Amino acid sequence: MTIVRRQTTAPRSASRGFTLVELLLVITIIVIVLSLVLVSLSQLQTRARATACLSNQRQLALANMSYANDNDGRLVNPRTDSLPPPAPPGGLPPGVAIRGTPHCWVNTGTSGGLSDGFETVKSLQAGALWSYVGQNEKTYLSPMDPTDRVRSYSFSSFIGVGDNVEALRADDYFDFPDFTDATTLPPYLNTQFKTATLAQIPQPARTLTTITEQDRFQSVKYNLHGFAVQVGPPFGASGIWVDTPALWNTGRVNISYMDGSYDAPNIIYEELAQLFENDPDGHDVTEIGARPAFRFMTTILLPGIIRPELQ
């Protein structure tokens, strides 16, 4: 018997390439994926820089505590040079003189501390905290800072002060809040306002120590002295930012507290940021209305000393 084997061959599909539409679709998908990856990478880099910035401020705050432990509780002064400040408006009381500040945290008054209006590393080295941060100049510079400065941070004008002239409170220079004036309302009259030592700060964990600042003076190209917003009795419906926080962290302000903790509160809303940007020197900017950012800053200046009514 003969067996007939039938061999069948499946038809071979005709090979073809991608159509133009398919190629465009693939390219579009790749572009979208790459865009998402780049956005995510950019966000991660921003967060990493913000974390490093806050870590620097933590080191500065802890260095201040260590300095106080080695100096009978005396904190560093927020001024940025050791020179005597100018006399306040109206002059000083008879027999009173303003001395310099030998314990300022950085010292642009040292030889070579300034060059063409810019602060140099020598000012950091001459400051009271240089040895307490391991003589590391990078501690003073935020990785978020887009400028070519050597220092991105300022200390609060309200800590480490008050032992020079009693009327000169913030920074041993500014005369606010003036609780000794005869016109001061009774609830605030003679309120204690000396923070030269650690023991004089009632709530260290809630007291502002450092902040990213961006002074934009035309003649002074660095953060001059401490950071301040104005408080005083009574204040009314506006808040004066004596200094401008840096706007590098998209609405957030990088800060540290006395105990070394830190935060990046999201307080800079669009209208306020525009006010800061439009001010040529970045000083004495008035926040009006509910002034939420100003009110937040006043709550962390000196909690337990500056009363909520003054905010």
pLDDT tens per residue across span 261-281: 999 999 999 999 999 988 877
Of the listed ranges 66-70, 175-179, 252-256, the least confidently predicted one is 175-179
pLDDT confidence of residue 117 = 87
pLDDT surpassing 60 at residue 7? no
Q: Which of 52-66, 224-238, 240-254 has the highest mean pLDDT?
A: 52-66
Predicted confidence band at 88 (pLDDT cuts at 50, 70, 90)? Answer: low
> What is the pLDDT averaged over residues 148-170?
84
> What is the pLDDT averaged over residues 119-135?
97
pLDDT surpassing 60 at residue 155? yes
Predicted confidence band at 306 (pLDDT cuts at 50, 70, 90)? Answer: confident
> What is the pLDDT averaged over residues 298-304?
89
Task: Find residue 115's DSSP bridge partners.
Answer: 118
How far from chain centre, in Å, is Cα 163?
25
pLDDT surpassing 60 at residue 156? yes
